Amino acid sequence: MATSEPVRARHVAIIMDGNGRWAKKRHLPRALGHQRGVDAVRRVVRGARELGVEALTLYAFSTENWRRPEEEISDLMGLMKRFILSDLDEFAAAGVRLKIIGDYKAFRPDVVELVEGAVARTADNSGTTLAVALNYGAQDEIARAAIKAAAKGAITPDTIAAELDTADLPPLDLLIRTSGEVRLSNFLLWQAAYAELLFTDVLWPDFSVDHLRDALEMFANRDRRYGGR
């Protein structure tokens, strides 16, 4: 008797949490935790591409992160710039398409210029899409989408969904949060309506391709009924 093929996760999102706790456990500066977090981003993006994930959305900077100390925000911006400068060539060559969700134009002009250049350079790539959430909040996204939908006519779930920042991505299949926290923190609230959720105690700097592979295998074995039987 033939068995059905496992369901593959096309779109995976990750709340990358635990950089500060990773550093604190090791009595290291918080900035070093963020640096190790960037290393984790690098290997997970590569792993997602190798594992056939079509879209990977990473929560890099939320609208609430502006409440952090100015020095930490500056460190994060510097890390973002270095990441783009050091890895863009590799991602472009590998067919990765960079997409930004959220209001990234609130950042410093040099960061905005670099981000827009990276998005433009990879716009025609057809491999894995790396969507980075910058100055992103899901409630703000939904409000913006509703305003756009209302300007065009009727407001329905379909018309709002068509105006979301992720409208050109596959539906969200799997949302992962690291570090043991069990909440969505204003991330992809609309998109997560029927996504599978996975909360892990692994701190983000320790998150590996093996952890991602295990998460994808877990997803493939879940029975997704979407409210039915």
Catalytic residues: 17, 65
In degrees and rounded to multiples of 5, residue 33 shows phi and psi of -60, -40
State the DSSP string of 70-125. Answer: HHHHHHHHHHHHHHHHHHHHHHHHTTPEEEEES-GGGS-HHHHHHHHHHHHHHTT-
Q: Do the Cβ atoms of 68 and 79 come closer than 8 Å?
A: no
Is 223 exposed, middle or buried (CB count within 10 Å of its CB: 0-12, 13-18, 19+)? exposed
Q: Do the Cβ atoms of 78 and 108 come closer than 8 Å?
A: no
Grouping H, G, I as helix, E, B as strand and the rest as coil, residue 215 is helix
| Residues near 71 by beta carbon (within 8 Å), at least 6 away in sequence | none
Neighbouring-strand partners of residue 51: none
